[in-house]
A = this chain, B = another copy of it.
Amino acid sequence: MSQKVRIAVLGASGYTGADLVRLALTHPNIEIAALSANAKAGQAMADVWPHFAHVPLPGLVRAEEIDWSGIDAVFGCLPHAASAALLSTLAGVRIIDLSADFRLNDAKTYAEWYGNEHPAPELLPDAIYGLTEYAAELLPAARIVACPGCYPTAALLALLPLLESGLVGHERITINALSGVSGAGRSLKEANLFTEVAEAVHPYGIGRHRHMPEIEQELSKRANGAVTISFTPHLVPMNRGELETITVELMPGKSVVDLRAALGHRYAAAPFVHLLPEGKAPATRMVRGSNHCVMNVFEDRIPGRAIVIVAIDNLVKGSSGQAIQNMNLMFGLPETTGLLQAPLFP
């Protein structure tokens, strides 16, 4: 690789693609070589994105127009199915995919939840699951990295250390999740109009959200046994942010103190994952616009249980920030390169 990683972003007309570009712009080791968006090919980024009105950037092209020679890494910010279909045609470029296509190890499970056959099942064995804090050893050699979904990122960061340590049971893990509207993307749906969402809150995808099998797959791997979760997401009138309130059952003799100790130990050296001081509640405003994740554990009033709460910015640690964090480790850069912006508050 050159001193700069030369990147292409596929799907730069979506919120995920745009936030990747935002972060890439001030990353000292990234050069943005190409930006694609088939439906808006030919337009300038400044025409598609208000916040890039004054930023010089490559124009949007169709994906097939990209000259891949000299490009080191491609970020896939396309919808599922379209992503793997396109990425599977590329050779010689390292792939960081933000779609769902390489997250599930099993093509059959994928077909069941996503409603289409997997476009490139032969690549699944090559893909690693890019929850950075658990993939650090695999990333330097990885050719394909599947970036986790936003809800799984938060849930797994909070739950994996507890399950790995055998502190909580596999059963009755109940995740109540709250998300900002940017998680729904920039596509035109009545449900995402300002007037439908503002001054209101509602659950959605109850019992059938596509992030469920992903969370279960990763929990089960490290829990040494199948884990089935309850997961209910809600849409909150804010642009960014994701907060999950999770109830778990304590193993006999274990307490909130043990859970806090396990999380504190696991993330002591993690630059972006933070156990808050005892009693301090996580809030999305602690992480807005940043790659940070905050978490904490509380006593439940029901004996033998605990409440684990975790917050991230869905577009950053839950998507584009983690993608760059992965790229950093893939290319031998310090994990935090280009990602140390402080959160924006208010």
Contacts and interface: CB of A to CB of B under 8 A. Distances in A.
Interface string A286-314: 11111010100011111101010101000
Contact of A198 (B15, B176, B190, B239): B239
Contact of A345 (B49, B190, B192): B49
A203 B281 contact: yes
Nearest to A208: B301
A301 B49 CA distance: 29
Contacts of A294: 53-54
Q: What is the oligomeric copy number?
A: 4
Given A189-B188, A245-B232, A342-B22, A199 B281 contact: no
Given A294-B53, A307-B230, A193 B192 contact: yes
Contact of A174 (B247, B280, B292, B346): B247
Interface in A212-269: 212, 228-232, 234, 236-241, 243, 245, 247
A189 B51 CA distance: 19
B341 A200 contact: no
Interface stretch (A156-164, A178-186, A321-329): A178-186
Nearest to A281: B203
Interface of A: 15, 18, 21-22, 25-26, 49-55, 171-172, 174, 176, 178, 180-182, 186, 188-190, 192-204, 206-207, 212, 228-232, 234, 236-241, 243, 245, 247, 274, 276, 280-290, 292, 294, 298-303, 305, 307, 309, 311, 340-346
